[in-house]
Amino acid sequence: MMRCRLAALVALAATILAADVHAQDATPAATPATPVTIRIAYLGQHFVPKLPSSFMEAPPQDDGIAGARLGIVDNNTTGRFTGQSFALDEQVIEGEGDVAAAFRKLVQDDYRLVVADLPAATLLAIADLPEAKAALLLNVAAREDALRGESCRANILHLIPSRAMLADALVQYLVLKRWRNVLLVPGPSEADKEYAGAVER
């Protein structure tokens, strides 16, 4: 499921960029389209998840990057008919590695569209780098509501719903079903508590 969602997000982002490229290159004369290669970077940070003992199977370790690859394959299928090709540069940082250095290298290599599979704090730190002024970060991981409020950045485009959006959808469904009495039991993590707070609001 996560692979499909991220694939759709990457496909959407690539389509938006491709449309922008065509708009910039459009001329009044009807001339054959010159093949265009649209380069997209994937910047992720991988942490070994702490799973409860009740998990029978560990979740896949490549959910994010697998979805990005699938999105690129999908776009290249239609790109054959539109004179476009899409290329993906994968950068996955393990643990507390230097994400900023990896991002700077991508910018030096002229990547301007970066799929950011990063925690909120790291995403904001990258967005605030001087090198990030010329890049667009596509947030596919951080759900914090503050990213769309007091922590908003002009160079971040959110492709993942916030916790407030998820809570709103859930409560609308509960109202539709007329399920008025709800028992809310938050999990132990900070993310669990933040989502529970969104549901309560």
Which pLDDT belongs to residue 65?
85
The residues with which 158 forms a beta bridge, in sequence order, are: 139
How much is the pTM? 0.76
Backbone region of residue 45 per phi and psi (left: phi > 0; alpha: psi in -120 to 50; beta: other values): beta
| Cβ–Cβ < 8 Å for 153, 139 | no
| Cβ–Cβ < 8 Å for 157, 10 | no
Which pLDDT belongs to residue 30?
45
- Per-residue DSSP letter, 29: S
The residues with which 116 forms a beta bridge, in sequence order, are: 43, 139
Residue with tokens 């001339």: 31
Q: Is 117 helix (H, G, I), strand (E, B) or coil?
A: strand
Integer angstrom CA distances of residue 107 from 46, 103, 133, 171, 197: 21, 6, 10, 41, 37
Measured CA angle at 5 (ends 148, 160), to 5 deg = 5
| Cβ–Cβ < 8 Å for 26, 84 | no
From first to last of its 201 residues, the chain has per-residue pLDDT tens of 444 455 555 555 555 555 555 545 544 444 445 778 899 999 998 877 676 666 677 777 777 888 889 989 999 988 888 888 999 999 898 888 899 999 999 999 999 999 999 999 999 999 999 999 989 999 999 999 999 999 999 999 999 999 999 999 999 999 999 998 989 999 888 888 999 999 988
Which pLDDT belongs to residue 36?
87
| Cβ–Cβ < 8 Å for 135, 111 | yes
**Reduced to 3 DSSP states, what percent helix, strand and coil does the chain have, rounded to the nearest 5?**
50, 15, 35
The residues with which 82 forms a beta bridge, in sequence order, are: none
Contacts of 23 (CB under 8 A, 6+ apart): none
Measured CA angle at 65 (ends 125, 138), to 5 deg = 40
- Rounded to a whole number of angstroms, the distance between the first and last alpha carbons of the chain is 28
Which pLDDT belongs to residue 6?
53
Which pLDDT belongs to residue 2?
46
